[in-house]
Structures are given as C-alpha cells and as structure tokens.
Chain A
Amino acid sequence: MDKKNRRWLIAPSILGLALILSLAWGYREYTMRKNMEVTLENNYQRLFFDVKKHVENVQTNLSKAMVANSTEQNVLLLSQIMNEAYFAQDKLAQLPVPQADIAKTQKFLNQAADYSYYLIQTHLDGKPLTNEQRGQLANLQENSAAFNSELSKLQAQLAEKNFVIGSLSSKQTARVEKGNENIFQTTLVNIDKNMAKVPRLIYDGPFADEMINRKPVGLTGENISKEKAMSIAKDFFGANKVRKINSFEEGEHIDEVAIPSYNFSIQLANTTDESVYIGISRKGGNVIWMRNSRPIGQEKITIEQAQRKALEFLESKGFKNMEPNYYQKYDGGVLFNFVLTEENVTIYPDLVKVKVALDNGEIVGFDAAQYYSYHQDRNLNEPQLSLEEARSKLRDDFEVNSSRLAIIPKGKNEVMCYEFKGRYLYGEFIIYVNADNGKEEDVLQLVIDENGTLTF
C-alpha cells in the first residue's frame, strides 16, 4: 500500500516542478519584453521631444535671419537652420508612423534645410537677399511656427493622456481603419495636410521641386510605337541574335516617370533564359539602358582590351568622341564611365556607362540614362581665365598631375571649369576652378584601389 501510494506521487510532483519551471520561464520572458518595450518607448519619446526642439530652433532662427542684416550673421543663422531642419526630418522619419502621413512634413523640413544651404551659397557669392527670397523666408517662418504650435498642443495632450507612442506600430493598421482616433497620428496627419498647402519654394538645390521633376533634354523626335521599339531592341543586339522578346507589363501611368520607355526582357540565341533586359525611350526611340545578367566566368581579357571593346561598341552605336574616365571592376566585369568631349572640353553631364564581361569581352551593360537627361547642344565659350590664372587659385602645396577644361553640373545649370587632378598629403583629389571667375566650384576625393576608382 505504501509503495503504491508513493508511486502515485511521482507524477504530480514532476508536474508541479514543471509548472514552477514554466512559471519562472514565463516571468523571465515577461520582464524581458517589458524591458524592451520601455527601452523602445523611451527612444520614441526622445525622438518626439527632439523633433519638437529642432522645429522650435528652426522657427526662432528663421525669425532672427529675417531681422539680421549682416551677411556674416545671416550665414551663421542659415547654417543653423539647415542643421536643425535636417535633424528634425531625420528624427521625425524614425517615429512609428506611416510614411504617407508625414511625407509632406519631411519634404518641408528637407526643403527648408536645402533652401538655407542655397541662401548660404548666394550670401557667400556676395549677393544680398532679394525681396522674393525674403518673402520665401517669411513663408517658411510662418509655416514652421504653425508646425511648432501643433507639436506643442500634441505634446500637452500626450502628457495628459500618458500616451505610449510604441503602441502605434503594433495596432497601427487597425487604428487607421478605425478612423484615426488616436491624437498622435491625427495631429501628424493634420500637420502633413497643412504642409501640402505650403507654397512652392523656388530655388536651386537637389531637393527643389524643379530638380525632382526635371525632364530629360537629350531626347528628341517623335514618340514611337511598341512594335518599332521591339525592332530597335532587336537591332541593338544584331540580326538573328534575339530568340525571344517579351514586353514588361506596364501600369497606366507609365508616362509619368522621368524617361517614359518601353521595357523588354530578351532571350538571346544560344542561351536558355530571358536574362537580358533593355529599356527604350518612347520619345525618339533611344536605347536608355541594357543589361545582360548572365554569370561571368574566369577572367581572360585585360582592362585595356575591355576598354577597347567598349569604345568600339560606343562607336558602332553612334556615340562619337567619348572619352573613358573611371572604371570599377566588380562581379567579373568592368564598368567604364565614358564622357563626351567637345573642342577639348570634357562634358561630364553627358555620361554613358558601359560594362564589359572580362571572360569574353562581351558588352553586358549599357546605361545612357544620364546622357539623354542632360545632352544638348552647348555653346562653349572661351574661358575668361587662362590655365595659369586658374592654377594660381589652388593651394601652393597641391601637387597637380593633370589639368583640363571640363563642364560640370551645378544645380540646374552647368559651369565651365578647369579641372585639376592631383595629390595633397598623399590623398588624391580633383579640384574644379570656375574658368570665368576663378571660384573653387567643387572638390572631389578619389579613392583608387586595384578594382578602380571611387569618387566621394
């Protein structure tokens, strides 16, 4: 009897032990989760308060910039506005709200920063603010003030309700569908709606609307049909080289991209899959890009041989006077940057990239998107400065290895510069000096290794 009793006890005691263990385990999980939630929430709160502070700083610095009269003070204030606006944008984008709800707010902050940078440049060129620019600054000030007061209200409400920002990401979708009942998101959505009404900033910078919606200037001629595009694609590879050609499915707004095009995937003769892609512009029927994604075998040809192949290829496609610039060796191929030269001037905006496979010298990549975006007939004026005069603008200890005339893009315009390639303290640099007024327009750092050159 005793024995039986004891045996009967074994199971429950093991069960009991298991229960205790799982409880302990559960508790550990629970505290860990709690810990992580708090850490995350703290981070979100910090971001929110930071956004508020940065926007506040943008607002006050804008007011100061409108009062200040000296160039020096204005440059200082504008550089602070630029910083604070970028900070605000960066932190705002880390909050757990959908992109769509803060897109216009981000744009406002990015453009405010970009615009400040633009104004700093005009200040440094010695140009005073125009009335129009003053008006735009006043507008920016007004909008950042409105933005800031919304954030203040939101902050007060959040404090009152003890709102947890982290709860947004988990129940996010359900909440939006319930009609945006939480104040955090509603406020941000409202701010975004107001931002959409902000008048357009007119200036020259990478985030300006004008730059974003730029149309290609290098494409001329009539719009072509899909059949015509298909035959252009076939001709590009040569007669009887294309076994199969298929068009990509298009959306109804295909015309609203930067370069409206027909796109095909192609199976070449002697291959087993559709691994070649090509894009052909609707306007003018130019090949914008081509890419053969086949795997590349053992390296058999040299960079020099590959470069000759690339040049021959460009000649055959009607690109004359193209000069090889930098190359990058990667994944068994080498990508060359070719730029147009006209009357001994290197025209950087007119860039064509050609990738050559190093196993058999086949052209496996071609990209003329930039060429067709910028190519135009240019009037190349004689530079006002001589090479020596421009050279004298550089540091004395900058060791120049080569120099030439070049056209580089600057905002929406192009400027003619003397290009000086050389060394300074063992680092490789390119310095561009404006050929008309001697201004240092740009400095690039080169990183050269066995795989080619990168510019920074």
Chain B
Amino acid sequence: MSVINVRQALNDAIREEMEKDESVIIMGCDVALRGGPFGVTLGLLDQFGEKRVRDTPISEPAFTGAGVGAAATGLRPIVEILYSDWLTLCTDQLVNMAAKMRYMFGGKVSMPLVVRAPFGAGGGVAAQHSQSFEAWFNHIPGLKVVAPITPYDVKGILKQAIRDDNPVMFFEHKRSYQIKGEVPDNEDYTIPFGKAVVRREGTDVSIISYSMMSIRAQKAAEELAEQGISCEVIDLRSILPLDYETVMSSIAKTNRVVVTQEANLRGGLASDIVAEIIDRGFDLLDAPPVRVGAPNVPMPYNSGLEKICIPSEENIIEAVHKVLSND
C-alpha cells in the first residue's frame, strides 16, 4: 500500500489504462502540454504522445461530440470538461447522442466514453464554477454517473469507467485533489459500479452521501457519536446505478435516514433517493426522511455567503437531530 492523493489516483488510473489499451485517449482544454488545469494529466503527453493526449480548443460541444463519434468507431476516449459547469455547453452531445445512440440504433453501436467533470463548491469561484449537476445526468437513461471521493475509489472507479462500454459521467470533486488515502501498489484493481460502501457503522440514523458529502457526513457522525448518537454513513460512490440494496438494509437497521447532497436541494438527487426509499420501504421508516442540500440560490462569491451555500457537517448534524426528534 502507498498513500497517494486523489490527483495521483486519477493520473495513475488514466496512465495504467492507456498503457494497457491503445484505444484509450484523453482530450480537453490544457490536458496535454500543461498537464491539466488541476495537474491531473501531468506526464501523459510525454508518455503517450500527441495523438492520444490532445489539447483542444475551448469548444466543448465539438470535442465532446468528437469523443462520442470516436467512441462509436473504436476508441475509448476520456473527455475532460475543465469545470463541470461547462457541461451545459456539451449537454446536447451527451444527452441526445452519447446516451441514446445504442438505443436509437437498436444496439448496433458501443459507446465507451468517459467524461471527467471536476465539480463541487468552495474557494470563491462563484456561480459559474461551483455547481453540481449529477442529478441532471442521473435523469438520463443510457448514462452512468459516478462520484467517488477516496483515492482508492477514485482510481478503481475511473479504471472501471474507462473499461465500461457505456458513457460514464465521472464527477470528481475539485476540492478533493489533495485528499490522501491508501492505494494498493502494483495491483490492477477496478471497482464495479453500483456498489456503495458503509464508511461507518451505526444503529440510530443512516446518512446517505457521496463525494465530498461523505467526508462531511463522517465528520458529523464522529461528533454525533460524542453526543451518544450512532450514525451509519453510506458513501454511494456510484449514483447511476445506485446501490439501493445497501441503502435499504441500512435503513432496515436504523429506521431513520438523512440523505445529503452538495447541490442545491430542489430537483436534486436527495429528493430522488428519498422517493425511491419511500417506494421500496416506507414501512421501515420511523420518521420522515430528511434531506440536506444547498439553498436554492446561485453560488454567491462572498466567502460568508458562500459558506451558507455549502452543506456542512453542522447541517448534517441538524438533520440527524431533526430525523430523531420527528416521530
């Protein structure tokens, strides 16, 4: 085992898959010469050359669409969208083409495309660089959506995404690159989609989380433990498909659930998960589920206002108290 950070985990995953399979390529703004806006792709150009590691013009629809066309004709492209907010620019190619081609064509095409999208809030980058759009893509049949957070998961899930024959939206939290964790040395492992992880076992409340919210949920659970409240923290890792088996078996034990997301609450994933929980196991619940998410506002620039808009440990703690007090 070695301790590496998320940035290195991403880099290792891409490099290992490119070494293994010549059809894997990566393209996006500044991914080649500069090594990526967040340094994720450093060294890849030197190792694999400019045919497989490509700097693109700032033309998200064209280079994402090129990824779709390339995936349909034999490559396994990784497309990097510099900030996930700009998925808005290439959503046509992802939603109308990548997600639907196999179905529209009666199964006659493969679509092994990975779209890496740094997302999430923090750092004062304001309304156009802070958003979390995973719920948009969760809505689209034909896509897969993942959002791992630990170096181990990030590496294993990205490798799985590259090998998957479906279009995968890979949401990496842009405040996570320095997060460190253990990753096995010289082991070619992947992590299947649709398998959640129980980060902390507990008996009173289940906290459903993914990406940065799973870290906040674990911190909240530690603090709640000191108050004598036992929380089970589930890190979904994969959103579509979503491991409802693990979610429901946790709720069967705790009978209370808090669902968290970093995105603003309205129309978000937490609402969808709560609806599914009710469909699958209303009778298991001793209290109405509680959602944690950001207020429904564009992300403000001012750090004080921004803080209000990023769901925190305190918000999760409040939610846990609420779900416990609401019989």
A complexed with B: no
